Chains A and B, each alone.
Chain A
Amino acid sequence: MLVSWEWLKQYVKLSATPDEVAERLMMAGLNHEDTHAVGNDLAINLEVTSNRPDCLGHIGIAREASVLFDTPLTLPAAQPKASGEAASKLAQVRVDDAKACPRYTARVIRGVKIGPSPKWLVDRLSTVGIGAINNVVDITNYVLLECGQPLHAFDLAKLAGKQIIVRAAREGEPFQAINHKAYTLDASMCVIADGERPVALAGVMGGTDTEVSDKTTDLLIESADFAPMSIRATARKLNLHSDSSYRFERGVDPQGVDWASRRACELILELAGGTLAEGVIDVGAQPAEREPITLRFAQLKRVLGIDVEPTEALRILTALGNKGLKHDAQSVTVVPPSWRRDLSREIDLVEEVARIHGYDKIPEDVSVPMAPSHRTHTDRVLSKVKQALCAAGFDEALTLSAVEEPWSEAFSPWTAAAPLRASTPVLRRADRLRRSIVPSLLGARQTNESLSNPRIELFEVAHVYLPNINTGGGEALPSEELMVALTSGGDYLSMKGVIESILHALAPGLELEAVPTRQALLDEARSAELHVRCGGKRLLLGYLGEVSPAGLKQFDLRAGSTVAEIKLNTLCEIAELIPQYRQPPVFPAVTRDLNLVVDESVAWADLSHTAREAARPFAEQLQLVDVYRDAQRLGPGKKSLLVSLVLRSGSGTLTGDEADAAQKRVVAACQQAHGAQLRA
């Protein structure tokens, strides 16, 4: 809201400087954006919150200033002299759409002379950025900016049948607004029509057909109350926003409708001449009386934490326009002013007293009792996971929770159910809530490839959104699960190693189980569904795999990538956050290297399990050192596994015989179970 400094001073005597006034207004709720000079005047730019439409006019601002500086507010009387015929004889008003238009008033002035406005009026409008048009239009604009009530002046001669009908627009009805643009209306919009056609879009903008021109002599002055929801919807649908719609959307003062009409007529008679017809055409409900509100003075201290003298509270409330009904030592009961629809409860009055009394009076150094706080289990686990990932050289990415359809379909290992969709895309075409983070990370990978960044190792921790998972009753919502997703330039085994490191950081000793999975995005041979065993349970951990050539193509990636997505829930379940001390072994270990030749089909997981079982009770570790293939020396379809068997006893130094025996058991077991041959 642009405020003219000179205009403001018409209503309230101010000895403070403009900057001081702006500062005080800001500290009472009208945020001061800036002040700039216009001619000999100043335009003060104040931000008005949506609950304070009363401050969308100079009088409202002046009232705030008068309360803050404790100086009287003087308002124009707005008592134009009427004579002759009654307005109701000269025009008719009918309201068909009372929901959109609770009240419509019209006054009639005949015999005006349209011409330029006097300098003072032109100056006032120019300070607040409004160009002068002619005396009548300028006056309606002036009154709007004076009290916040939008008005419209029709050329009465052009109103067919001298009639105003407030009704819903007809579907497809055309309308030419005074901004010279044509609009097509629909039945949800409210129009002001005459006997034949819409002549104004109610509360938003007037029409060209009936606008005041140089030849106009007779006027119908509209001052009405339109429903905020209706105006907002219309303005939004047509993308047509005006000073008028802005105010109706926030709600005008229902008691101010008539005052504004009288005020405009008074100024028109003064500046454009003419004769005001007797009375007013006033259709619709008269504004209801406001409910009284009681403020218990003790509530001030209870909410604000400071004492405010009841006399000060009373002064503030009265000066703001509240009518005192009764008060005693404990409380006051007031009727709030019609222009303050935001005041309806005791707490609203507490805020009024507080903001005028000044928030600077509230101390900032009271002692607040201490309280314990704890980090959640999830946060603790996450912090270990992120630590491990940073140490492994992964950077954390943040990507949008919604994706476009092709990405949404690219990878969805957790659910086959269709994704949730946003009514409008969150960004560009991204309207699917993602069921996996992996596609977004591949997108980030592509961005980095296109920037020629050499090393792209990314992870993200975020929710995936899984519809139709919850089956419980009540208010169950779609399932959201935190996932850790990764993309790396490394291969399957290096990514698997990273996941193993994460597991080790949370629960040393747990082993990953990798079983085949079929995911279109992933290379079938070099991908896996991962499980982990914990406390007798087999838990699904996630998915891992090298991106297939088709996948790389879909994401426009030149170099290969391995991706993974793992469930944070599983990590939380297995995490051992307070590890218990185990004494490191005191007796020396014996290491035996073995070369075992097996068929290609023998899986390491099976072989190592067999070997460790056979080496009991001395098995400490079985490490894979190397895999060697040579069709000529080993035979086709064979591989040689160089393994390092670490043996140790918990009760004494292992003897050579004991180690030899364990080694023999291992070789024999591997031969029996997997056809392994010991190679010299």
Chain B
Amino acid sequence: MALTTFQAELEAFAAAAQAAFIAAADADALEAARVEYLGAKSGRLKDVQKQLGGVPKEDKPAAGKAFNDAKTVVEAAFNEAKERLGSGAQATSREPFDRTLPGKRAPLGHLHPITQTIDELKDLMGRLGFTVAVGPEIEDEWHNFEALNIPAAHPARDPLENFYLSTAKVSTGKPGAAKSDAAKSDSGAPLLLRSQTSTVQIRVMENTKPPVRIISLGRVYRPDTADATHYPMFHQIEGLLIDRHVTMADLKSVLRLFASSFLGGDVHIRFRPSFFPFTEPSVEVDMSWHDDKGNLRWIEMGGAGMVDPNVLAAVGYDPEEVTGFAFGLGVERVCARRHNVTDIREFYRNDVRFLHQF
């Protein structure tokens, strides 16, 4: 057989094989084409290879090279087709697989939204140099009232506005029949559940020389009837900074950094005069907010002010020497607004369908 005839046969084979591989629509068709053209026993490549023996001896090197080239091209075409069809020829032997079946989920637990809010606030304040401080939830009147400049005549001291404590004596078995003694600290002072976390600030200041830069947080208790916006237990977070030369401008600037970090973007702070016993001047803090239409809105953030000189004196600081600011916010309110929770009682119902949303 002449070299040219062999080359022509070779070309025809290669073209047909390539076309067949390209045309294969699925793995079965490709496998059939592979058997036909490249099959080890009776594939057409074998036929062509046999004809190589009929080529004159002097043309054999050229014919051999041509054969190898053609084989490489055809094999490449096959591999390409195989790749195109994804799983390759072997897939025919595997079970069908539905890639849209649901995944197998790991049952991840969720942190309570109140905790998530607290963690974020703590984190933001931490970056501003405020270290977390905690203190007891059961307090004496000195820390809950006196040191905070809330005198005995103040309405906030009304026993009905607070949860005073007693020790429950051995129950007689009848409901309401248990006798009790007023609970007192070792020094004999009456005890109550704290009504604000400012108590922690007093405890820290009593034991620390200025400068002080802390946030206190935790559970506080007030006898409110539970409804969509009230619960007798809630969480407060309060910041305190005491040093020489601390001013209201510092307060406003820290709150602006805080609000900008929390909300993102450029937030502005507005003060409205207010009244709290432990600060003077006292202000309500608003932060600016652009609504959907781009209008400037002010939303209430919390209360703040310059620590009252009486409070500084109560903890042994010299009000002529140091000044300070304090601010506080209710965590439930921040959290409810952030997540669009319309009834804060949901926070304490612990329905896992609620908890899983956060």
Do A and B belong to a common assembly?
A: yes
Q: Which residues of A contact B (CB under 8 A)?
A: 26-29, 31, 49-52, 228-229, 232, 236, 249, 301-306, 345, 347-348, 350-351, 354-355, 359-360, 362-368, 370-376, 378-379, 386, 389-401, 405, 408-409, 417-424, 426-427, 432-433, 444, 447-448, 451, 453, 455-459, 462-463, 465, 467-468, 470, 472-478, 480
A385: shortest Cβ distance to chain B, in Å? 11
* A463: B residues at CB distance < 8 A: 137, 219
A507: shortest Cβ distance to chain B, in Å? 22
Rounded to whole angstroms, the CA-CA distance of A477 and B221 in the bound complex is: 17
User: Are A422's CB and B193's CB within 8 A?
Assistant: yes
Rounded to whole angstroms, the CA-CA distance of A347 and B149 in the bound complex is: 14
User: Are B352's CB and A448's CB within 8 A?
Assistant: yes
User: Are A397's CB and B350's CB within 8 A?
Assistant: yes
**28 pairs from A and B in contact (CB 8 Å cutoff):** A29-B273, A301-B247, A303-B323, A305-B248, A347-B281, A351-B280, A355-B281, A359-B271, A362-B248, A362-B249, A364-B256, A366-B249, A368-B128, A373-B127, A373-B130, A393-B106, A393-B107, A395-B109, A395-B355, A409-B171, A421-B178, A424-B160, A432-B168, A453-B352, A456-B352, A465-B138, A468-B167, A472-B186
User: Are A348's CB and B323's CB within 8 A?
Assistant: no
The answer, yes or no, to whether B90 is at the interface (CB within 8 Å) is no
User: Are B306's CB and A367's CB within 8 A?
Assistant: no
The answer, yes or no, to whether B132 is at the interface (CB within 8 Å) is yes
User: Are A390's CB and B213's CB within 8 A?
Assistant: no
User: Are B270's CB and A360's CB within 8 A?
Assistant: yes
User: Are B171's CB and A405's CB within 8 A?
Assistant: yes
Could you tell me how many residues of chain B have their Cβ less than 8 Å away from some Cβ of chain A? 96
The answer, yes or no, to whether B314 is at the interface (CB within 8 Å) is no
* A354: B residues at CB distance < 8 A: 248, 273, 281
User: Are A475's CB and B232's CB within 8 A?
Assistant: no
**Binding-face segment, B1-9, B11-19, B59-67, B111-119:** B111-119
The answer, yes or no, to whether B351 is at the interface (CB within 8 Å) is yes
Rounded to whole angstroms, the CA-CA distance of A368 and B114 in the bound complex is: 29
* B168: A residues at CB distance < 8 A: 405, 408, 418-421, 432
User: Are B109's CB and A396's CB within 8 A?
Assistant: yes
* A455: B residues at CB distance < 8 A: 107, 352
Rounded to whole angstroms, the CA-CA distance of A405 and B169 in the bound complex is: 12
The 8 Å CB contact of A427, one of B183, B213, B226, B270, is B226
B330: shortest Cβ distance to chain A, in Å? 15
Rounded to whole angstroms, the CA-CA distance of A366 and B97 in the bound complex is: 63
* B254: A residues at CB distance < 8 A: 368
Q: Which residues of B contact A (CB under 8 A)?
A: 106-112, 114-115, 122, 125-132, 134, 136-140, 142, 153, 155, 158-160, 162-171, 175, 178, 180, 183, 185-187, 189, 191, 193, 211, 213, 219, 221, 223, 226, 231-233, 245, 247-250, 252-257, 268-275, 280-284, 306, 308-309, 323, 347-353, 355-356
With CB as the reference atom, state the residue of chain B lying closest to A462: B219
* A49: B residues at CB distance < 8 A: 274-275
* A462: B residues at CB distance < 8 A: 219
* A303: B residues at CB distance < 8 A: 247-248, 281, 306, 323
User: Are A423's CB and B163's CB within 8 A?
Assistant: yes
Say yes or no: A52-B167 contact (C-beta < 8 A), given A386-B111, A395-B356: no
The 8 Å CB contact of A475, one of B140, B167, B284, B355, is B140
B161: shortest Cβ distance to chain A, in Å? 10
User: Are B272's CB and A26's CB within 8 A?
Assistant: yes
With CB as the reference atom, state the residue of chain B lying closest to A472: B186
* B114: A residues at CB distance < 8 A: 398
User: Are B250's CB and A368's CB within 8 A?
Assistant: yes
* B139: A residues at CB distance < 8 A: 477
Rounded to whole angstroms, the CA-CA distance of A50 and B348 in the bound complex is: 32
Top 8 closest A-B pairs, CB basis?
Answer: A305-B247, A305-B249, A371-B129, A29-B273, A359-B271, A351-B281, A393-B107, A390-B109
The 8 Å CB contact of A420, one of B132, B165, B274, is B165
* B219: A residues at CB distance < 8 A: 401, 462-463
Rounded to whole angstroms, the CA-CA distance of A354 and B279 in the bound complex is: 14
User: Are B112's CB and A364's CB within 8 A?
Assistant: no
B242: shortest Cβ distance to chain A, in Å? 12
* A386: B residues at CB distance < 8 A: 111, 115
User: Are B351's CB and A447's CB within 8 A?
Assistant: yes
The 8 Å CB contact of A401, one of B132, B137, B159, B353, is B137
Interface contacts beyond A306-B249, A375-B126, A451-B351: sample of 11 additional A-B pairs, CB < 8 Å, sorted by A:
A303-B281, A304-B249, A347-B281, A351-B282, A362-B271, A393-B107, A393-B108, A418-B167, A424-B160, A426-B232, A457-B109
